[in-house]
Amino acid sequence: MSTRKGLNVVLAIVLAALLALMTNCGDDGETALPTQPTDTVQPTITVQSIESTTPTEPLEDLTITIGSITDKTAMASSALSIVDMALTDVVEYFNDNSLIPGVELDVIFYDGQYDPAHDIPGYEWLKERGADLMISPVPSVPLSVMRFLQEDEMVLFSPSATSEALDPPGWVFLMGSRPEVFVYTLLDWVAQNDWDYEQKGPAKVGAVGGMDAYALALQDGLEAYCKAHPDQFEWVDGFMVEWTVMTFAPEINALLDCDYVVAPSTGVQTFAFMKEYREAGGQAKYLGTAAQAAFLGLIYSAVGWEDLDGMLFALQDRWWNERGYQLVDLAWDFLYQKHPDNVDVAVFGGVSYLGTVQTSYTILTLIERTIKEVGAQNFSGQALYEAAQSFSITYDSGAEWSFTPTKRAAGDKVGIYGLSAVDEDLVRIDADWYPIRLDP
């Protein structure tokens, strides 16, 4: 695996575009991301208290506070500002409908600016302000804070935790699947359904990612699967680049003849690489997970549907166009009722809003079951931790989520989706749900 550092003035232009998108989502704060931790530069703190809009008399005087370390002003803010909006909407829905009797849910946010140096300060800040559990979509957070969780009896839910934070099983719970098993399952599907390796020989696979744990785990999974199945795939190379890198000539040159490529999974780099790769003549089919799908609107705006046609995704949630399922319909209802001026912005954000509605609903259902089991006044981090280890839920969509005493990744199955230039949308191309493949 190779790494490279660099800087391109294009960053200023694309970041300005992202900030404009963020303004549409209601986030008007500006804070420069420090290039290195200092004693004088402090991250912006955003506190948002969520209260029921329907007056009710709680059965018991209990508030459960959810703390979230997020990114409102830096490289992932275009996606995570929408994630925060979805979490807020689900919390309001539970409060307004008294879905956890005797309990009022509250949310507070800390803007860690997608900087690992702010993970622990953010954790401490949220804890000091009464967080009973934490949620973070930022990949670095689980590894940064995991050593504090057991002593503090603090459960952390993450959609992007990696194996290092999950083994041995502890207080980090992954709302999804480990990055590497996504690609195990996706490559297995590709070998059986998309690439005739018996006639064509092994497909060439490569990847590029920004410097975070999620991208590294994806590349490790790709390499492991390719090397375990040399008759099906050939691993060409994987590249990890600094966040300031916005042009990819060396990486593209190395991957130009690939049959499948995984693009960076965060923000500007995702569509910048995909656009440049196509302009250089690269014909590989793109592969992705929910990480790339979180920036889908930005991707097709920059790259164009024709150059994205056929891109494959392994996802654990239904998509916007699959109406008739409980949580898909609920997400649409939230947008039209709460954000009528931002419906297009949320849908443009790809999986950011829809996926968060689905994972947040699952987390709050776990809280509700914990309360039902121990009583509102006996709720604690320890009670939530114990309840989580026997939690399972199956939605009408077919999605299945579960934890056990030894299993910390909730996702049990994935669906296979593809980008369609004809439909100008992401479409499900296989009706089946595929069990997660745990080994390459």
Write out pLDDT tens, residues 192-227: 999 999 999 999 999 999 998 889 999 999 999 999
How many whole angstroms separate alpha carbon 255 and alpha carbon 209? 13
Shared-domain flag, residues 195 and 281: yes
> Does residue 370 carry a pLDDT above 50?
yes
> Does residue 28 carry a pLDDT above 70?
no
> Does residue 342 carry a pLDDT above 60?
yes
Shared-domain flag, residues 239 and 292: yes
pLDDT for 317 equals 87
CATH number of the domain that 225 lies in? 3.40.50.2300
In the chain, the number of structural domains is: 2
pLDDT for 76 equals 85
Q: Is residue 59 part of a domain?
A: yes
How many whole angstroms separate alpha carbon 154 and alpha carbon 255? 43
Please compute Rg for the chain using Cα positions: 21
Shared-domain flag, residues 157 and 219: no
Q: Is residue 289 part of a domain?
A: yes
* pLDDT more than 70, % of the chain: 86
pLDDT for 122 equals 98
Shared-domain flag, residues 158 and 224: no
97 CB burial (10 A radius; 0-12, 13-18, 19+): exposed
pTM exceeding the 0.85 threshold for the entire prediction: no
pLDDT for 295 equals 86
Confidence category of residue 3, pLDDT binned at 50, 70, 90: low
- The sign of the torsion formed by the CA atoms of 331, 174, 4, 440 equals negative
User: What residues contact 358, with CB distance under 8 A and at least 6 apart?
Assistant: 317, 318, 327, 331, 395, 399
How many whole angstroms separate alpha carbon 343 and alpha carbon 294? 15
* pLDDT more than 90, % of the chain: 78
Tell me the residue type at 50.
I
Candidate from 59-68, 72-81, 82-91, 166-175 with smallest mean pLDDT: 59-68
Q: Tens of pLDDT along 282-315? A: 999 999 998 899 888 889 999 999 999 999 999 9
Q: Which helix (H) or strand (E) holds 252?
A: helix 249-255
pLDDT for 26 equals 40
pLDDT for 348 equals 87
Q: Is residue 141 part of a domain?
A: yes
> Mean pLDDT over residues 251-272, rounded?
94
Shared-domain flag, residues 266 and 393: no
pLDDT for 2 equals 65
- Residue 201 CB neighbours (<10 A): 13
Q: Tens of pLDDT along 375-407? A: 999 999 999 999 999 999 999 999 899 999 999
Q: Is residue 14 part of a domain?
A: no
Shared-domain flag, residues 118 and 258: no
Shared-domain flag, residues 93 and 172: yes
Shared-domain flag, residues 342 and 308: no
Q: Is residue 304 part of a domain?
A: yes
Shared-domain flag, residues 48 and 171: yes
Mean pLDDT in the chain? Answer: 88
Shared-domain flag, residues 303 and 339: no
Higher per-residue confidence, 52 vs 132: 132
The whole domain housing 86 covers 31-177+323-409
- Residue 384 CB neighbours (<10 A): 26
Buried b (16+ CB within 10 A) or exposed e, 106-129: bbbbbbbbbbbbbbbbbbebbbee
Q: Is residue 17 part of a domain?
A: no
pLDDT for 350 equals 85
3-class SS at 375?
Answer: coil
> Mean pLDDT over residues 355-371, rounded?
97
- Check: CB of residue 210 under 8 Å from CB of residue 269: yes
3-class SS at 416?
Answer: strand
Q: Is residue 18 part of a domain?
A: no
Q: Is residue 24 part of a domain?
A: no
Residue 97 φ then ψ, to 5°: -100, 10
pLDDT for 29 equals 40
- The sign of the torsion formed by the CA atoms of 246, 247, 250, 253 equals positive
Shared-domain flag, residues 333 and 201: no
Shared-domain flag, residues 67 and 119: yes
- The sign of the torsion formed by the CA atoms of 165, 166, 170, 175 equals positive
Highest mean pLDDT: which of 29-38, 69-78, 179-188, 287-296? 179-188
User: What residues contact 177, with CB distance under 8 A and at least 6 apart?
Assistant: 316, 409, 410, 411, 414, 436
